[in-house]
Amino acid sequence: MEKFLLKVNHISAYVLIILFVLMMISGYRQMGHFTFISRGMASALHQIYLNTAFLVVGTIHALTAIRRALKRNRIKGTYVDILLIILGILFIGGFSYFTFA
Protein backbone atom coordinates (compact mmCIF):
# COMPACT_ATOMS: atom_id res chain seq x y z
CA MET A 1 0.00 0.00 0.00
CA GLU A 2 2.84 2.39 0.79
CA LYS A 3 4.47 1.89 -2.61
CA PHE A 4 1.15 2.54 -4.31
CA LEU A 5 0.63 5.78 -2.38
CA LEU A 6 4.17 6.85 -3.17
CA LYS A 7 3.50 6.29 -6.88
CA VAL A 8 0.22 8.23 -6.60
CA ASN A 9 2.11 11.06 -4.92
CA HIS A 10 4.77 11.16 -7.65
CA ILE A 11 2.28 10.93 -10.51
CA SER A 12 0.08 13.64 -9.00
CA ALA A 13 3.15 15.88 -8.71
CA TYR A 14 3.87 15.50 -12.42
CA VAL A 15 0.22 16.12 -13.29
CA LEU A 16 0.31 19.25 -11.11
CA ILE A 17 3.29 20.57 -13.07
CA ILE A 18 1.42 20.09 -16.35
CA LEU A 19 -1.74 21.69 -14.93
CA PHE A 20 0.26 24.64 -13.62
CA VAL A 21 1.79 25.28 -17.03
CA LEU A 22 -1.64 25.05 -18.67
CA MET A 23 -3.10 27.43 -16.07
CA MET A 24 -0.31 29.91 -16.75
CA ILE A 25 -0.90 29.72 -20.52
CA SER A 26 -4.66 30.15 -20.19
CA GLY A 27 -4.16 33.01 -17.72
CA TYR A 28 -1.81 34.82 -20.09
CA ARG A 29 -4.34 34.30 -22.90
CA GLN A 30 -7.06 35.86 -20.75
CA MET A 31 -4.85 38.92 -20.45
CA GLY A 32 -4.41 38.99 -24.25
CA HIS A 33 -0.78 37.91 -24.59
CA PHE A 34 -1.30 34.70 -26.60
CA THR A 35 -3.54 34.31 -29.63
CA PHE A 36 -3.49 30.59 -30.45
CA ILE A 37 -6.72 29.89 -28.49
CA SER A 38 -9.78 32.06 -28.17
CA ARG A 39 -10.27 34.24 -25.13
CA GLY A 40 -13.56 32.51 -24.23
CA MET A 41 -11.99 29.07 -24.34
CA ALA A 42 -9.04 30.27 -22.26
CA SER A 43 -11.45 31.74 -19.70
CA ALA A 44 -13.45 28.50 -19.46
CA LEU A 45 -10.28 26.42 -19.19
CA HIS A 46 -8.76 28.67 -16.56
CA GLN A 47 -11.78 29.27 -14.35
CA ILE A 48 -13.61 25.94 -14.52
CA TYR A 49 -11.81 22.94 -15.97
CA LEU A 50 -8.16 23.43 -15.03
CA ASN A 51 -9.12 24.98 -11.70
CA THR A 52 -11.17 21.94 -10.71
CA ALA A 53 -8.52 19.48 -11.90
CA PHE A 54 -5.83 21.44 -10.05
CA LEU A 55 -7.94 21.38 -6.89
CA VAL A 56 -8.55 17.61 -7.01
CA VAL A 57 -5.01 16.58 -7.97
CA GLY A 58 -3.46 19.07 -5.52
CA THR A 59 -5.58 17.73 -2.70
CA ILE A 60 -4.66 14.13 -3.53
CA HIS A 61 -0.99 15.08 -3.66
CA ALA A 62 -1.11 16.94 -0.35
CA LEU A 63 -3.07 14.29 1.53
CA THR A 64 -0.86 11.42 0.41
CA ALA A 65 2.20 13.42 1.47
CA ILE A 66 0.59 14.25 4.83
CA ARG A 67 -0.24 10.57 5.38
CA ARG A 68 3.34 9.55 4.66
CA ALA A 69 4.68 12.25 7.00
CA LEU A 70 2.32 11.18 9.80
CA LYS A 71 3.29 7.54 9.33
CA ARG A 72 6.98 8.50 9.45
CA ASN A 73 6.30 10.15 12.83
CA ARG A 74 4.52 7.01 14.07
CA ILE A 75 1.03 8.49 13.83
CA LYS A 76 -0.88 5.86 11.89
CA GLY A 77 -4.03 3.87 11.87
CA THR A 78 -7.43 3.57 10.30
CA TYR A 79 -8.72 6.65 12.10
CA VAL A 80 -6.01 8.82 10.57
CA ASP A 81 -6.82 7.49 7.10
CA ILE A 82 -10.54 8.13 7.58
CA LEU A 83 -9.86 11.63 8.91
CA LEU A 84 -7.67 12.46 5.91
CA ILE A 85 -10.29 11.14 3.48
CA ILE A 86 -13.00 13.22 5.17
CA LEU A 87 -10.77 16.31 5.11
CA GLY A 88 -10.07 15.75 1.41
CA ILE A 89 -13.75 15.42 0.57
CA LEU A 90 -14.60 18.55 2.57
CA PHE A 91 -11.77 20.52 0.99
CA ILE A 92 -12.63 19.51 -2.58
CA GLY A 93 -16.37 19.91 -2.00
CA GLY A 94 -16.03 23.28 -0.29
CA PHE A 95 -13.80 24.86 -2.89
CA SER A 96 -15.76 23.29 -5.76
CA TYR A 97 -18.85 24.96 -4.34
CA PHE A 98 -17.11 28.33 -4.49
CA THR A 99 -15.92 27.62 -8.04
CA PHE A 100 -19.35 26.78 -9.41
CA ALA A 101 -21.54 29.05 -7.25
What's the pTM value of the predicted model, to 2 decimals? Answer: 0.83
CB-CB contact of 84 with 66 (8 Å): yes
Element (H, E) at 14: helix 2-31
Residue 41 pLDDT > 90: no
pLDDT in tens, 76-93: 888 999 999 999 999 999
Separation of alpha carbons 9 and 58, rounded Å: 10
Q: How many domains does the chain have?
A: 1
Question: Whole domain around residue 66: which residue ranges?
Answer: 2-100
